[in-house]
Amino acid sequence: MTDAPVPDARWTIELWPADGIVLYDWLMSVDLTQIPARHNAQKQALADLLAALETQAPVAGLARAEIEQAQHEVSKDMDWQ
């Protein structure tokens, strides 16, 4: 069995800028109360991710063209839909 997470510990997750922009845009547009989840903690984790993107990445206030470019970059090599 592994040790329980330390409450004040932080993880650092690296994202490509385009991935961060796409995630931020989606999280800003989705109603978290409507997302299917096995536990409410999953919805809270998404809200926490949104807050981290807002405060730690230059994503707020992007122009629609910048968001669309990021979407193109992330999806251009997808082999699934």
pTM: 0.80
pLDDT in tens, 22-71: 999 999 999 999 999 999 999 999 999 999 999 888 888 899 999 999 99
Cβ-based neighbours of 21, under 8 Å, separated by 6 or more: 59, 62, 66, 67, 70
CA of 75: how far to CAs of 1, 38, 79, 80, in Å? 38, 27, 9, 9
pLDDT in tens, 2-17: 677 677 788 888 999 9
